[in-house]
């Protein structure tokens, strides 16, 4: 099979098309013929060596996938050959998603919503589960609450906006002006162009802040929360200072590492099927253009997700 293999850390050029051995499903696993795999911002950082999450090369990156079941371990009863599935297997361990075939635990996959293409389905798992686990599992967002979503037009952000609106929240989003029309279409109630306005000057008394930007955004967001509100971050999760700052401000703090979650994936699927959630794909590229896909993600300002098709 074809796979994108990197044999050293470095720039996008280290991502090379290679012939690899097709994996064989083990106990509790299925073999998936990958139709699409999306790029997440963490992947270029891993590729560069700045965050060696899955060890030393050689390896194949990629987690977010959508495809068709080709083989099933005899003990697996959730799927049959031919089922369309999507998910985020093994994260944060290596899954080898930039490839034509992937094996995955059956309970880390769910059936693909019929209304989504494989590219759209591949755009959903990691970003969607991050947003779901932040807003629902941790913040327990309720109808009528106010939520500030930083980077509202990005991969996690645009899904978080839709999840929050589906739960009846009032949504404030930060994003560049070029994404405002897109975000209004998703239902954002108030938009802030971070290039021309400082959110700390215009946002007060929110119940939840969702932060995936870094660069001091979490610390500065504490002043926007009401007493007892919660800041949830996927960036500064290991901070020792933020919990103390939050406590001093009378608010709560939580960091998150996204996990494979069949319950969360099923919840996202239900939102998709009810018309309340739709992942946006800015661009699709063939698998062999993985380096170009990484370049686009590293340039920043991606609206939604970049997806590779195999």
**Per-residue model confidence as pLDDT tens digits over 64-123:** 999 999 999 999 999 999 999 999 999 999 999 999 999 999 999 999 999 999 999 999
Task: Judge whether residue 268 has pLDDT over 90.
Answer: yes
- pLDDT score for 98: 98
- pLDDT score for 176: 96
Retrieve residue 193's tokens.
Answer: 């162009």
Q: Give the pTM.
A: 0.97
Task: Judge whether residue 236 has pLDDT over 90.
Answer: no
- Strand ranges in the chain using DSSP code E only, listed in sequence order: 2-5, 16-19, 29-39, 65-72, 84-87, 101-105, 109-111, 146-149, 170-174, 190-192, 206-211, 225-233, 252-255, 281-286, 305-309
Contact 122, 36 (CB under 8 A): yes
With 0-12 / 13-18 / 19 or more C-beta atoms within 10 angstroms meaning exposed / middle / buried, residue 71 is middle
- pLDDT score for 302: 95
Task: Judge whether residue 238 has pLDDT over 90.
Answer: no
Task: Judge whether residue 309 has pLDDT over 90.
Answer: yes
Q: How many CB atoms lie within 10 A of CB 120?
A: 24
- pLDDT score for 237: 86
What confidence tens digit (pLDDT) does each residue in 152-175 have? 999 999 999 999 999 999 999 999
Retrieve residue 156's tokens.
Answer: 């996690």
Question: What is the chain's mean pLDDT, rounded?
Answer: 97
What confidence tens digit (pLDDT) does each residue in 182-209 have? 999 999 999 999 999 999 999 999 999 9
- Confidence band of 235 (pLDDT split at 50, 70, 90): very high
CA angle at 287 for the pair 286 and 293, rounded to the nearest 5°:
80
């Amino acid at each position: 099979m074809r796979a994108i293999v990197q044999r050293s850390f470095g720039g996008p050029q280290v991502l090379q098309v290679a012939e690899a051995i097709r994996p064989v499903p083990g106990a509790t696993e299925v073999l998936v013929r990958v139709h699409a795999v999306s790029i997440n911002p963490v992947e270029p950082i891993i590729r560069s060596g700045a965050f060696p999450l899955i060890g030393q090369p050689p390896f194949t990156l990629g987690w977010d996938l959508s495809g068709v079941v080709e083989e099933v371990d005899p003990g697996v009863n959730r799927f049959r050959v031919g089922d369309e599935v999507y998910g985020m297997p093994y994260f944060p361990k290596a899954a080898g998603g930039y490839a034509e075939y992937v094996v995955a635990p059956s309970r880390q996959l769910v059936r693909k919503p019929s209304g989504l293409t494989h590219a759209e389905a591949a755009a959903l798992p990691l970003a969607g589960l991050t947003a779901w686990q932040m807003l629902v599992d941790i913040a327990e967002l309720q109808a009528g609450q106010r939520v500030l979503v930083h980077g509202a037009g990005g991969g996690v952000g645009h899904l978080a906006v839709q999840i929050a609106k589906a739960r009846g929240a009032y949504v404030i989003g930060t994003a560049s002006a070029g994404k405002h029309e897109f975000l209004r279409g998703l239902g954002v109630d108030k938009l802030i162009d971070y290039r021309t306005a400082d959110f700390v000057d215009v946002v007060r008394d929110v119940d939840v802040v969702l932060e995936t930007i870094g660069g001091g955004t979490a610390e500065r967001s504490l002043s926007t929360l009401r007493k007892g509100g919660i800041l949830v971050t996927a960036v500064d999760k290991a901070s020792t200072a933020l919990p103390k700052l939050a406590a001093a401000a009378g608010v709560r703090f939580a960091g998150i590492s996204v996990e494979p979650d069949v319950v969360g994936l099923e919840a996202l699927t239900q939102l998709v099927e009810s018309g309340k959630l739709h992942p946006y794909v800015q661009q699709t590229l063939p698998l062999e253009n993985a380096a170009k896909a990484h370049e686009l993600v590293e340039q920043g300002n991606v609206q939604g997700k970049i997806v590779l098709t195999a």
